[in-house]
Amino acid sequence: MPEPVIALNAVGKEFPADPPVRALSGVSLDVHRTDYMAIIGPSGSGKSTLLNVLGLLDRPSSGSYRLDGIETTELPDGERTRLRGSRIGFVFQSFHLLPHRSVAENVMLAEVYRSGAARRGRKDRRARALAALERVGLSHRVDFLPDRLSGGERQRAAIARALMGGPSLLLCDEPTGNLDSRNTEAVLDLFDDLRDQGLTIVVITHENEVSDRAKRRVRITDGVLVEE
């Protein structure tokens, strides 16, 4: 069987306090290519901590995390940054689009801010941005400013930006939290399409409509993960 995109083995995360706060406890999880997984759980359950570990934004206190077969827990910070930039795309509840830049320029900025080996040359950057926007069905809005877009279109622009590096993994944190039901449906349809194109998607959500569309669902409670 091919190497999982995500392979967590007995991952724990503690934060210093008196006594220490245990946010993750013995989390083991394999996520394979083209999996579409929802992570659900109440506030304070460890969802955000898990997302930060998966996104290489934070290191676990114990255990192993392999991303595309690469053990990440002992990598130097620079190598973690480069691995994150080349393998992971992030989508958040807030769209984080610059208001005075066009949609295409916002997508292009993903490469400007990417560091080290993960950054690609300036040549053909706009062409890559236009291809990403076409992939999310936003070719007709490339020169619009974000305030002329609907909420769903802004999120699709943010997803296009996340796709610029050609990631193997898309991590989404409450991606429909600011959307109405119609735009939520459009974004979920897009996730289905991206999965069909070979992308691995992990979504943190508290919305049943979102988690029901995923092919797998895991629940985290008090730092303990259980597959449903």
> Is the bond preceding 19 in cis, omega lying within 30 degrees of 0?
yes
pLDDT of residue 121: 58
151 burial level (CB within 10 Å; 0-12, 13-18, 19+): middle
> Among positive and negative, which fits the CA dihedral 41, 44, 72, 173?
positive
Q: What is the mean pLDDT of residues 213-222?
A: 94
Q: Give the chain's domains with CATH numbers.
A: 6-227 (3.40.50.300)
Distance CA 128, CA 20 (A): 46
Sheet holding 169-173, edge to edge: 88-92, 169-173, 200-204, 36-40, 216-221, 224-227
Could you give the CA distance from residue 170 to residue 33 in angstroms, rounded to a whole number? 11
pLDDT mean over 132-147: 94
Residues whose CB is less than 8 angstroms from the CB of residue 120 and which lie 6 or more positions away in sequence, other chains included: 111, 114, 128, 165
Instruction: State the pLDDT at residue 110.
Output: 85
Q: What is the model's pTM?
A: 0.91
pLDDT of residue 124: 83
* H or E stretch covering 185: helix 181-196
**pLDDT tens per residue, range 194-215:** 999 999 999 999 889 999 999 9
> How does residue 116 score in pLDDT terms, banded at 50, 70 and 90?
very low
* pLDDT at residue 120, rounded to an integer: 56
The predicted structure's pLDDT at residue 171: 96
pLDDT(7) > 80: yes
pLDDT, residue 112, reads: 72
In the sheet that 62-67 helps form, which strands lie side by side, from edge to edge?
21-31, 6-15, 62-67, 70-71
Using an 8 Å Cβ cutoff, are 27 and 12 in contact?
Answer: yes
Rg of the chain on CA atoms, in Å? 17
Convert the pLDDT of each residue in 145-172 to its tens digit. 999 999 999 999 999 999 998 899 999 9
Q: Which residues contact 221 (CB under 8 A, 6 or more apart)?
A: 41, 42, 45
Taking 60 as the threshold, does the pLDDT of residue 189 lie above it?
yes
CA distance 14 to 75: 19
- Partners of 38 in the β-ladder: 203, 217
Cα 73 to chain centroid, rounded:
19
Burial label, 77 (beta-carbon count in 10 A; 0-12, 13-18, 19+)? exposed
